[in-house]
Chain A
Amino acid sequence: MKLPVVGELTWRDVSTEARLLLIGIPVFIWTMVPIYHMFLFAISPKEDAFSGKLWPDHPTLHNFSIVFHQQHYFLRDFWLQFGNSVLIAAAVGALTLVIATCAAFAISRLRVPGSRMVMNLALFTYFIPAAFLAVPMYRTMGKYGLLNTHWSLILAMVTIAAPYAIWVLKQASDKLPVELDEAAIMDGASPLQIFRLVYLPLMMPSLVAIGTYAVLLAWNEYLYAFLLLSNDKDITLPVALGNFLAADDSPWELLMTTGFIYALPPAAVYYAFKRYMVGGLTAGAVKS
C-alpha cells in the first residue's frame, strides 16, 4: 500500500472540507432565511420593517411589548388565545397518554382477543391524511353539538394523535421481557398492579416521547383549530395568526412577533426532549 505524503494529505483534507462547506453554507442559508426574516420583522420598528434592510437601523423590542400588552386590534385577546393553546395542548397530551397507554398495555401485555385488529384499525387511521378526515369531522362535531367548544378540538386531536401513540407504545412494550409479567403474576399481582408497578415505570422514556409528540401536535395544529373554533375568545394562537391575513393593512411586524412568540415554546420543548424524540420516535417512525 502506498503511504500518502503529508502535503498531499492536507491538500486533500482542505478540498474535502471545502466541498463540505459548499454544501453546508447553502443548507444553512436555506434553513435560516424564513426564520431570520420572521425574527427581523419582530425586532424592527414599523418604518424599518418594509425597507428591505437585512438588519434594522434601530433594533427594538417594542413589538413584543405591544403584543404582551395587547395594544392592537388584532391582539386584543392575545393572552386568552395563548392560554387556549396551552390548555388544549396540555389536555390533548394528557388524554392521549391515558388512552394510548391503556390500549398499548391491553394489546401488548394482556393480549386481549381482537387486539391485533384494534392495532390495525389504529394504524389505518394514522395513515388517512388528517385533512381528508377534517371535512367529515367538522360535520360530526356539529352533530354532537361540540362545534366552537374546546372539547371539539381536544377530541379531534386525540383522535389523530392516539393511533401513532398506541403504535409506538406497543412497539416499546413488546420489547419488555414477558418474564417480568410472569414473575409479578406468580407473586399474586393483579393486571392493574402490573400496569402501575411494573409497566408504567419501565415505559417512562416512551411515555415522555409520546406526551411530547401529542402536545406539539396539538400546539401546532392549524386546520382543525380553524375549522372547529371560530369565536375570537375560543380560538388558539395559530388561528389568530391566520386571521391577521383577513385585513389588507395587517401589521406584519406584529404578526411576525406573535408568530415568533408562538414558535418559541415548541422549539424549546423539541430541543429539550430531543433525546427522547430521537430514541422513541424517529427510530420507530419508519422501521424498514
Chain B
Amino acid sequence: MAITISANDPALAVAPRPPRLTSPQVWGIVMLAPYLLVFLAFVVYPVGYGLWLARHPASYVALYNDPIFARAAINTLIFLVIGINVKMVIALFLSGFFVQQRSWIRWLSVIFILPWAVPSIPTILSVRFMLNPEWGVINQLIFQFTGDDGPNWLNDPAVALSMAIGVHIWKSLPFWTLILMTGRLAISHDLFEAADVDGATWWQKFRYITWPSMQTLYVTCTLLSMIWTLGDFNSVYLLTGGGPADLTHVLSTLGIRYLRLDQLSLAMASIVCALPLVLPLVYFMMKRLSR
C-alpha cells in the first residue's frame, strides 16, 4: 500500500527532530488511540491472520479445480461489468429527470429514495416471494391472463443471476441518482441558456455541457460502486442462496459458503484471488479521496 506524504505537511516539517511532544500532541495521541486499538484488533489482526491461512498453494489448486469457483468468478464479472454499467447509465439518465423543476417530480424523488432508505432484507425476500413459481404473484398473474404456468424464475441460473442484479440495481439506484444529481446541479445554468440561444439540441447540450463537467464524478461513482458491489452479499444470498446447484454464487457469497463448509483456507484463498481486482480500485479511490 502506497501512502504519499506531502513534504509541506506542517505535522511532518518538525518530524526530523522528534523529542518532546507538545501537550496538544499528547492529547492527540490519546484521542487517536481508541480508533487505533479497534483498527489493530479488528482489521490488522484478522487480515493478517486471514492472509496467513491463505498461504498454502494447495488451496489455490483446490480452488482452480472447483467448478463453483470458476462459475462464481464469471458471475462476479458479469455482475460488475453489466450490472454496474446498466445501473450507472440509468442513474445518469434519471438524474437528468429528477433535476426538472416540477412539484410532482419532487414528490416522486421522495418516494424514489425508499429502496435506499429501507433495509434490504425484507424487500429482497419480498421479491423472492414474487418470483416463487407456484404461489408468487407474478406467476399467478401470468396464469390469470394466459392460463399457462409461468416460468420457474429462480431455477434458471441465467435468469436467477439477472434477477439478483435487478435487486441490486433496485436497491442502489436511488443513491447513485442522488449523487449524480448533485453533480448536475453544480453545473452553471448560464451554459444551458447560452446553448438554448444557439439552438443546441438535447443531445448536444448533454454531449458538450453536461458530460464534460460530470465525467470525473461519473467515473468515480462507477469505480466506487464496483468496489461496493464486490461486497454485495445480500442481493445474491437472500434471493437465490447461490442456487440452483451453486451456479449463481458471486465471490462474496462463495467465501461465506466455504466458511459454512468449514473450509476456511479455501474461503480466504477465494478472497485473495479477488484482491488483484480490488486493490487497484481501492488505490485509485484513495488517491481521489485523500486529497
Contact = CB atoms under 8 A, between A and B. Distances in A.
Interface of A: 20, 23-24, 27-28, 30-35, 37-38, 41, 50-52, 98-100, 102-103, 105-107, 110-125, 127-140, 143-144, 155-156, 158-159, 162, 166-167, 190-192, 195, 219-220, 222-223, 227, 238, 241-242, 244-245, 252, 255-256, 258-260, 262-263, 266-267, 270-271, 278, 282-283, 285-288
Given A159-B43, A219-B119, A115 B32 contact: yes
A130 B46 CA distance: 13
Given A111-B10, A136-B50, 17 more contacts: A41-B126, A112-B11, A124-B286, A125-B39, A129-B228, A134-B233, A135-B50, A139-B50, A156-B42, A159-B42, A166-B35, A191-B23, A220-B119, A238-B119, A241-B125, A242-B238, A267-B118
Interface stretch (B127-135, B152-160, B203-211): B127-135
Contacts of A238: 119, 121
B274 interface: yes
Nearest to A131: B252
B268 A136 contact: yes
Contacts of B268: 135-136
A52 B137 contact: yes
Contacts of A120: 1, 3, 286, 290
A107 B35 CA distance: 12
Contacts of A30: 170
A219 B135 CA distance: 30
B81 interface: no
List the 6 closest pairs (A to B, CB-CB), nearest first.
A129-B231, A52-B140, A259-B122, A136-B50, A112-B28, A110-B28
A132 B230 contact: yes
B217 A127 contact: no
Most buried by A among B104, B123, B216, B289: B289
B135 A50 contact: yes
5 contacts: A28-B112, A133-B47, A191-B28, A222-B234, A241-B122
A20 B11 contact: no
B122 A256 contact: yes
B100 interface: yes
Interface in B240-291: 241, 252-253, 255-256, 258-259, 264, 267-268, 271, 274, 278, 281-282, 285-286, 288-290
Contacts of A159: 38-39, 42-43
A24 B108 contact: yes
Contact of B114 (A136, A227, A267, A286): A267
A35 B123 contact: yes
B189 interface: no
Contacts of B97: 20, 23-24, 27
A137 B231 CA distance: 14
Nearest to A219: B119
Contacts of A158: 38
Contacts of B53: 136, 139
A123 B125 contact: no
B129 to A, nearest CB: 6
Nearest to A31: B112
A38 B121 CA distance: 11
Most buried by B among A119, A259, A266: A259
A256 B42 CA distance: 35
B97 to A, nearest CB: 5
Contact of B49 (A52, A113, A139, A270): A139
A114 B5 CA distance: 10
A121 B282 CA distance: 11
A20 B234 CA distance: 33
A259 B286 contact: no
B286 A133 contact: no
A286 B179 contact: yes
Most buried by B among A115, A140, A220: A140
A140 B5 contact: no
A112 B100 contact: no
